[in-house]
Structure formats: structure tokens, C-alpha cells
Amino acid sequence: MRPSRRRDRWFPNVVIALVLLALAGGTVSNLVRNPQPRLVAEGVPGRLAPPGGASAGSGKYDDLVRHALADLDALTVQNDPPPDRQTVPDDTKLPDDTTLPGAATPPDTTTLPGAAVPSGVTLAGWNGPWRFVWPRDVSFVAVARCAVGQYDKAYQVLSFLNSIRPSTGRWEARYTGTGGHLEDARAPQVDGAGWVIWATWFCRAGNRYWDLVRESADQIVGELGPDGLPASSSDYWERPEKEVTLGTVAPLLTGLRSAIRVATDLRHTTDADRWRTALDRLSAATDRAFAPDYPRTPARATSFVEPGVEPISIGGGADAIVTVLGPPFAPGNPQVSAAIDRAHGVLTQPNGGVTPGESWRADGVSWTPQTALFALSAAARGDRATAETLLTWLDQHRTRTGALPEKVNRDLEPAGEAPLAWTAALVILADTALQNPLPVP
């Protein structure tokens, strides 16, 4: 019996209609689960407009850098000076071929005894849940300050970190402006140890804050398991993790490299040797578990094709933190550089910015810290075109007061907290890297 011609006519239309209905339902469901974020505030209330004229910027981004520095100033809180645990003047040196704009050398720290350094705390943001101090964020702030020659302000940040350092155990995810702990759902994070060591090395303050370097580096060593990797820990996504993430591993690699540089310069050879052994273990384990794509979590499998073709990892998902495996956080590596470029392509959103990770919520919203991380990575790796494209995008999506927001939503509007200290610091560093090579541990 021949099939009905009438059925032949209506059946495809019904199938198409059902598919379109399912797609529409999925879109509506996603919008309900991930509503369009809005701006919390235009900027810090009462913040003075940054002065015009000379700037630490490269020229093209002078206004962007001026506003970023002004916002960091506005987010800085002055507390009573804490007792500084390390008052030895610093003599750590950067490579002779390293040039940082703003100041050729740091000030003579013999004139800055520890007890005289104020505890200049930089809040992550001005409002509500952002009015706290994240070791990660303020480490970047200290580095950005030093990159443009503001060493005294950077040492205030490092002095605060030194005053709250955990002599044993992990750094907390965040602290109050007076160094207190917060009883909230955020667990201590392993990555904090790596960030604070990197900032201390970058700012040539290893001698001044040697105890901070030593205790944090030893904490990293103690975190490494028999396989050379740390156990699972929250990272910059600040959520419970069931397995180790690149968000933990990458900062620890940077921290150990920085600690070795500090210890070598200060002739603490035993410490340098111990940390170099740990670095070798962690580096080998990272390549074994994450290469060649370096996703957020170790790939479940690797697909091997014909000889001469790069294998492809399956599972894990791209993460913006892959940028920390390359300059200015680590020496250049062609395989890592390819992974960074691949992740940038995967994580770029329709609005032009970047989302934190492939397994992050699929809402089309871009996050400015991750966008700025890719800008910094591109600038440090010599990809000027990409760096300028991303910096221009960030520049074009500031608030009406000129502040850099936390996010840019699907309608290309600034969203979330503004200003955000981490983004401001990253933008300053990216612009600086366009002018001169940043030191790499």
C-alpha cells in the first residue's frame, strides 16, 4: 500500500515545528536560569576624576589606564599600620635587560622600615560582597603598581598581605579590610600562595617579605601529592571542586618559579633546591595530566590521529586561566601558546568578550578579568593585534564614570560591580606589556 500523500505534506512541517518549539523552550529556559545581569553601580561614590596630562599609559590607552589607577586609589583603604614581620631592606634584583615604565628602579627600601608602611588595603570592589580583600586580586594590584613605578603603594599592599599571612595552612579566599577571616561558604584556596609569591618577587620585595615567600612556598610543596599534583581545591571560580583544576595548578607553578628566583638571589640555596625539586614534579605532572590542550580539569581521554598531527584532549573544557601557563607568568612555550589561542577562540562570546570557561554557565555574558587576562597574555607574547583588540573592547565598555565593570552583558551593557580591582590591575599590566617586556619568573 502506498503511503498517504497528505501525510507526506504535513509530516515534515510538524517535525520542523516541534524542533523550533524545543529550541525556543531551551532558549527561554536558559534566559530564566541565567537572567541578564545589570550594573550594580557606575563607580566608587565621590571618586575624583583622574587628572589629565601625563600618564603611565602607552598613549593609545592613556585615559583607560588613568581611570584604572584612579579606581585602584579609590578602592584603597588606609588602616592603622600593622606590625610588619620583616623589616630587612630588599636587594632582590630583576634581570638586567628588564625595563619597567614609570621608574627605572624601586625606591631604596632602607628608608621604608616595616612599621612605617601603612596597610593600604585594596578592596575587590566598593559594594556589598565585593568589599573584601582577595589575595589573588591584591597580588595583581601590587604587580600593576610596581609595573608603573608606584612601588610605595605596592609595598602597602604587600605589607598588608604579610600581616595576615597564614604561617601554616592555606590562604583564605578573602579577608576583611582589617585582615579578619570571614565565616562564609568560600573555602581556603591553594592558589593564593602562588599569587602572593609572584607579586612579592615581581616587586623586588623578596628580602623584605622573605617569611611570606618561604611559608607560602613550603605550603605549595606540602600540597603536592604522590602524583605531583595538589588535591582538589577551590580556585578563582570559587566553588567546590571534585578534582584538581588548572586554576589551582597554574598559579602554583608561577609561585614556585618566583620563590626559586627570590631564594637564589638571596642565596638561600637549600630552599631554592627544595622548591626546584617541587617545581620539576609539578611541571611534569601538569604536562602529563593537562597537555596538550591544558583544559580546566585533566582530560578524560586523548585522541591520537596520524603521525605529525597534534593529539586532541577530550573533556575538561577550556579555561581562561590557561593564560597563566605562558608569559608573563611563565617562559614561552609553543604548545602552551597554541592552547592559549585555542582557548581564546572557544571562550569568546558573541558580544566580543570572554567567558571564564567552557563549562561556565552559557549565558552569553563576558567577564572583564578573563578578557583582560587574554589581553595581557597576547601583549606579553608579542601578539599586539589581539592585545589591542581586547583592550579596545574593554575601553569601549566602561561605565559612564570610566570604571571597568565586572561583566558585559548580552546587550553590550556594563554589568556587575564597577570598578573591579582585578580588571583594573590587569588592564594596567596589559598596557604596560605593550610598551616593554614584563619580567617572567
Domains (range + CATH), the chain: 40-435 (1.50.10.10)
Residue 117's pLDDT is: 33
Mean pLDDT of the 352-379 span: 97
Q: What is the pTM of this model?
A: 0.85
CA distances from 304 to 14, 104, 170, 316 (A): 42, 49, 39, 17
161, 135 Cβ separation under 8 angstroms = yes
Beta-carbon count within 10 A of 306 CB: 5
Mean pLDDT of the 422-426 span: 98
Sequence-ordered list of residues with C-beta below 8 angstroms from that of 149, at least 6 positions apart, any chain = 56, 100, 101, 102, 103
Among 173-182, 227-236, 280-289, 355-364, the range scoring the smallest mean pLDDT is: 173-182
Distance in angstroms (rounded) separating the CA atoms of residues 412 and 431: 23
Condensed to tens digits (0 to 9), the pLDDT of residues 369-422 reads 999 999 999 999 999 999 999 999 999 999 999 999 999 999 999 999 999 999
Q: Looking at beta carbons, which pairs linking 387-390 to residues 24 or more positions away fall under 8 Å?
A: 387/430, 387/433, 387/434, 388/60, 388/434, 390/354, 390/430
Pairing of strands 301-303, 121-122: unpaired
pLDDT for residue 185 is more than 70: yes
Q: Is the peptide bond before 82 cis (omega within 30 degrees of 0)?
A: no
pLDDT for residue 153 is more than 50: yes
Residue 65's pLDDT is: 97
Residue 311's pLDDT is: 60
Distance in angstroms (rounded) separating the CA atoms of residues 158 and 160: 5
Sequence-ordered list of residues with C-beta below 8 angstroms from that of 94, at least 6 positions apart, any chain = 204, 439
> Grid coordinates standing for 264?
637564589
In Å, how far from its chain's centre is CA 250? 10
Torsion angle (degrees, nearest 10) of CA 404, 375, 327, 132: 20
Among 164-168, 330-334, 339-343, the range scoring the smallest mean pLDDT is: 164-168
> Grid coordinates standing for 226?
604522590
Closest CA to 255 of 225, 236, 232, 278: 278
pLDDT for residue 8 is more than 80: no
pLDDT for residue 43 is more than 80: yes
Condensed to tens digits (0 to 9), the pLDDT of residues 91-129 reads 434 333 333 434 334 543 333 333 333 467 899 999 999
Strand order across the beta sheet in which 366-367 lies? 366-367, 407-408, 414-415
Q: Is the peptide bond before 45 cis (omega within 30 degrees of 0)?
A: no
Mean pLDDT of the 295-314 span: 68
Give percent above pLDDT 90 in the chain: 70
Mean pLDDT of the 249-254 span: 98
